[in-house]
Structure 1
Amino acid sequence: MSRLRVLELYSGMGGMHCGLTESGASAEVVAAVDVNTIANEVYKYNFPNTPLWPKSIEGIPLKELDSLSFDMILMSPPCQPFTRIGLQGDVSDPRAKSFLYVLEVLPRLQKTPKYILLENVKGFESSEARGTLIKTLQSCGYHFQEFLLSPTCLGIPNSRLRYFLIAKLQSEPFAFQTTNKILETFPSTNESEVKRTGCDLGLEVHPQADTHQKKAASSAQCPEGDIVYKLETAEELERKQSQDNDFSVHTLQDFLENTEEISQYLLPPKSLLRYALILDIVKPTCRRSTCFTKGYGHYVEGTGSVLQTATDVEISSVYKSLETLPDEEKLAKLSTMKLRYFTPREIANLHGFPAKFGFPEKITIKQQYRLLGNSLNVHVVARLITLLLQSH
């Protein structure tokens, strides 16, 4: 069987490419397309032999696309037109123009690609753009399956819910029964597809703890009890504790760097004082972290979890009566937790990027955070590509 020829649109720093490699598919990326110059630098650094087109997609004529003769499209169109916290301009947003061009060109290609994988934010599933996508796929003879998936379903302690669609020409059946419903887990197939363990993710897996060990571990992970501190409701605390007691998910320590150079990642005093009540604090033994956004490391509110490195300090004792203290004493108490940002490499680990994936020296820490915040989970993509290529 000849190698699949893959076109990677909105290639970013190469998350889709990494997922393709991890899937083990016999394939080559014949062109990667993106206009982000910083992302392109990282892509070239990691995939020097892949043709990279630093141009707008809508600027690529049909004839040039036909010349690639590709079998598969991987794409992550801009999410800003569909994100819940944005203006939700949908198809009227100028940033959706390139995606609409892809849908306009697809029926006109000399060779209809067999496979398509698309990723976007939650919210895309209810957009007008999604409706146009579905109509186009149906008119071109594809059948498809939609998903809303988070890495937690693969045992990864990071919430990053994203919309995915996989499509293939109807002449090639899926290995599972498709449905009009949006799936929130991976379907089982004829092959022994089971929930991936740490072994599949390249992690060291420890023997499952027995009941007594589990109880001991759960009490050592994240704060418990009836004290509602910070600006958290009892329901939020209960949800977090439930996540930390899910032993099908790895602990964060499996993804952390063994580094002593953490001083540059410690939260500055100003941030500690201003955002103390809204920080999402996790310990290495926790089995959860919130979604990391492109503002992580620069902004604090809502951009991702922070790590408590002084693990012997009880968070509840730090926050008890915190608001009644003067700033100097408040800062002294907060500083005992030694809160720091996750490093870019740690976020890359949670996103599933392989150990050999790196950043050129000239790419700043802030730029790395931005790229990672815009990226996707490699392991989820790899599993979807495997599903896409399987048949009855």
Structure 2
Amino acid sequence: MAPLRVLELYSGIGGMHQALKDSCVSAEVVAAVDVNTLANEVYKHNFPSTPLWAKTIEGITLKEFDRLSFDMILMSPPCQPFTRIGLQGDVSDPRTKSFLYILDILPRLQKLPKYILLENVKGFESSSARHELLQTLQTCGFKYQEFLLSPTCLGIPNSRLRYFLIAKLHPTPFSFPSPGEVLTRFPDEDLKELLKDKVADSLDEASSSLLCKEKNLDPSTGPDCSSKKNVAKGAFLFKLETAEEMERKCSQDNDSSVQVLKDFLEEDNEGMSQYFLPPKALLRYALLLDIVKPTSRRSTCFTKGYGHYVEGTGSVLQTAEDVQLESVFKCIEMIPEEEKLMKLSTLKLRYFTPREIANLHGFPPEFGFPDKVTIKQRYRLLGNSLNVHVVAKLISFLLGDRGS
């Protein structure tokens, strides 16, 4: 069987390409398309033999698309128009223009692709753009299935709830019968195991959404998206968390179906000193941080502002594991600043490194960045990327009956 010819749109740093490789499907990416110069540098660094088109999707003509003769489209359109805590411009947002162009082009192709996989944020499933997508797929004769999934479903200790769609140009429906339903689990997973999850992702996103709406903030572009400043004081245990939040985090850490974070961490070395939180950040944001240990089985979603903004952009790591959080935070607001800083410093809090976030996203050890890409830029690029393992599994489902 000839290798699948794959077109990768909005290719970024190559998360879809990596997932395709990990799915062990015989395939060739015939073109990757993205306008982000820095992301393209990283893509070329890791996939040097793939033709990379640094141009807008709207700048690709129907004739050029036809010439590629692709069997599959992998795409992750801009998510900002659909974030539940953003402006929700949807189809009126200029950043949706390229996606609508794809939907216009698709029915006019000389040869329709056999397979499509799309990734976006939670919120896309209720958008007008999604309605346009489904209408186009139905017109073209595609069977499709939608999902809302997080890496926690695969035992990865990171909450990153995302919308996915897989579609195939095949008369036979998918083997898992869920027409019109957005699945919140993989079709082959045991329901009993799933009920533990991993509802936590929805809770995290819902509480974050509410607070951000009150502050009119977008978590992908600015700070303070999951702060708990508005939680009633009577519910505080320590830090700014309610009893329910504490209980949920404890439940996640006791879920043995999820790996521990230390499986994804780098070895301690001298270079780690640059990742420790500075005193100013400790004093200002200590009560708002999501603090995890290497033995934890959870971490919050890492956004593109991680390492630059402190609040609401991702968890921080407590490297002094023997120090109890309760003892540090007890009455901490009542003590002088100097003493407060001394207590907080005993936790030895640091940011996750870009390599560690890449590990949690499923990028293999050999995946790297050109030396000229700064740490801040690496965080930004990874925050805009996706979980490779989740996409690889969806590709396997999508191509499961290939050739039948």
Tell whether the structures are fold-level matches, with TM greater than 0.5.
Answer: yes
How far apart are residue 91 of structure 1 and its match?
Answer: 0.3
Query: Counterpart in 2 of 1:220?
Result: none
How far apart are residue 300 of structure 1 and its match?
Answer: 0.6
- Normalized per residue, the structure richer in helix is 2
Is 1:267 the counterpart of 2:270? The answer is no
Conserved 8 A contact 1:144-1:178: no
The one-letter code matched in structure 2 to 1:275 is: Y
How far apart are residue 184 of structure 1 and its match?
Answer: 0.6
Give the alignment of 1:108-119 within 5 angstroms.
108-119=108-119
Query: Counterpart in 1 of 2:124?
Result: 124
**Aligned mates of 2:291, 2:268 — CA distance in 1:** 20
The one-letter code matched in structure 1 to 2:394 is: L
From 360, 365, 368, the equivalent of 1:358 is 368
The CA deviation string for residues 81-100 of structure 1, in whole angstroms up to 9 with x for no partner, is 00122110000000000000
**Aligned mates of 2:72, 2:53 — CA distance in 1:** 17
The one-letter code matched in structure 2 to 1:305 is: S
Query: Counterpart in 2 of 1:257?
Result: 266
Distance 1:172 1:41, change over 3 A: farther
From 238, 241, 246, the equivalent of 1:237 is 246
Conserved 8 A contact 1:291-1:304: yes
Conserved 8 A contact 1:313-1:336: yes
How far apart are residue 176 of structure 1 and its match?
Answer: 2.6
Distance 1:78 1:42, change over 3 A: same
**Aligned mates of 1:307, 1:316 — CA distance in 2:** 16
How far apart are residue 175 of structure 1 and its match?
Answer: 3.4
**Aligned mates of 2:138, 2:346 — CA distance in 1:** 58
**Aligned mates of 2:129, 2:292 — CA distance in 1:** 37
Secondary structure of residue in 1 paired with 2:382: helix
Conserved 8 A contact 2:159-2:300: yes
The CA deviation string for residues 109-134 of structure 1, in whole angstroms up to 9 with x for no partner, is 00000000000000000000000000
Query: Counterpart in 2 of 1:100?
Result: 100
Count matched residues: 360
The CA deviation string for residues 335-358 of structure 1, in whole angstroms up to 9 with x for no partner, is 000000000000000000011100
Runs of 4+ in 1 over 2 A off after TM superposition: 170-179
The one-letter code matched in structure 1 to 2:333 is: E
The CA deviation string for residues 307-337 of structure 1, in whole angstroms up to 9 with x for no partner, is 0000010000000010001111111100000
Secondary structure of residue in 2 paired with 1:55: coil
**Aligned mates of 2:176, 2:93 — CA distance in 1:** 36
Distance 1:156 1:188, change over 3 A: same
Query: Counterpart in 2 of 1:181?
Result: 181
Query: Counterpart in 2 of 1:390?
Result: 400
How far apart are residue 179 of structure 1 and its match?
Answer: 2.4
Query: Counterpart in 2 of 1:45?
Result: 45
**Aligned mates of 1:95, 1:302 — CA distance in 2:** 24
**Aligned mates of 1:6, 1:171 — CA distance in 2:** 21
**Aligned mates of 2:236, 2:86 — CA distance in 1:** 35
Is 1:300 the counterpart of 2:310? The answer is yes
How far apart are residue 262 of structure 1 and its match?
Answer: 1.3
How far apart are residue 227 of structure 1 and its match?
Answer: 7.8
Is 1:146 the counterpart of 2:146? The answer is yes
The one-letter code matched in structure 2 to 1:370 is: R
From 322, 338, 348, the equivalent of 1:338 is 348
The one-letter code matched in structure 2 to 1:16 is: M
How far apart are residue 172 of structure 1 and its match?
Answer: 4.9
How far apart are residue 187 of structure 1 and its match?
Answer: 0.4
Is 1:157 the counterpart of 2:157? The answer is yes
The CA deviation string for residues 159-180 of structure 1, in whole angstroms up to 9 with x for no partner, is 0000000000133542332321
**Aligned mates of 1:44, 1:21 — CA distance in 2:** 16
The alignment yields a C-alpha RMSD, in angstroms, of 1.7
TM-score normalised by the chain length of structure 2? 0.87
Conserved 8 A contact 1:252-1:288: yes
